[in-house]
Amino acid sequence: MGEIRQSYLVAASSAVSLLRDPVVKAAWDKPSALTEFTVAGLAGHLAHQLVRVGEVLAPNDEVQEPIELIEHYTRSPWVQAGLDHESNVGIRRAGEASAAAGPDALVGNAQSLLDQQLAALPVEPAGRVVFVRSSGWSLRLDDFLLTRLVELVVHSDDLAASVGVETPELPSAVIGPVVELLARLAVHRHGATAVIRALSRAERAPATISAF
């Protein structure tokens, strides 16, 4: 099994464990660390990453020639949109909808999806291309899993911060690809000089090099 697939499964397993933590259930209806997200909505958004993977693994005859990852993010309206943009409003609504049945149901569904994916991903063809219905284009499966890996790592940190627990520690095989992709996106958005200055020269660092 490829490294990205293994890294995704490690991050997904960690996320399900975090969702199962009693402190998440206790804070369910409280505001989260993310603007306009409750803890429930953020938990739902985190768990929904496994749903997204389940969706692309299903057979689909709409598969097209895959695009590259940078183009995927360039095309996605939420990346540089404000909180009130319909794409981000839709993301928050989907998170709340995923959590609507409560924390126990959310964890149960996430664990079921994780169990299915632990069995399915190791036997998927190395070059498989998948159709991402929510976007309307196709990606290589491993590229799509990398996008979900970023979401799992970033939002696990958000959820942990929201409920007052330590961010889950993840191995370098998980964190490395996430940092690399975020750096690539930051360079694409802000330029190499801005990123180099932010990482090496505090006196000339730009205000932000956020990838999103």
130 phi and psi angles, rounded to 5 deg: -125, 150
What mean pLDDT value characterizes the chain? 92
Of 41, 50, 40, residue with least CA distance to 11: 50
Structural domain that includes position 141: 3-169
Residue 194 lies in a domain: no
Domain-located, residue 55: yes
Q: Would you state the pLDDT for residue 68?
A: 95
Give pairs for 54-61: CB < 8 Å, separation 24+.
54/113, 54/116, 54/117, 55/133, 56/130, 56/131, 56/132, 56/133, 56/141, 56/144, 57/117, 57/120, 57/121, 57/124, 57/130, 60/130, 60/131, 60/133
Interior angle at CA 83, CA 46 and CA 77, nearest 5: 80
**Is 192 contained in some domain?**
no
Structural domain total, the chain: 1
pLDDT tens per residue, range 61-77? 888 999 999 999 988 87
Q: Supply the pLDDT for residue 87.
A: 62
pTM given for the model: 0.92
Answer yes or no: is 89 within a domain: yes
9 or 87, higher pLDDT:
9
CATH code assigned at 85: 1.20.120.450
Determine which helix (DSSP H) or strand (DSSP E) holds 138, and give its type and residue range. Answer: strand 137-140
In the chain, % of residues over pLDDT 70: 94
pLDDT band at 88 (very low <50, low <70, confident <90, very high): low
Q: Is residue 200 part of a domain?
A: no
The rounded radius of gyration (Å) of the Cα atoms in the chain is 17
Residue pair 168/156 in contact (Cβ under 8 Å)? The answer is: yes
Residue 132: its H or E element: strand 129-132
In a domain, 123, yes or no: yes
Amino acid 80: pLDDT: 65
Residue 202 lies in a domain: no
Examine residue 176 and state whether it is found in any structural domain, yes or no: no
Contact indicator for 27, 39 with CB cutoff of 8 Å: yes
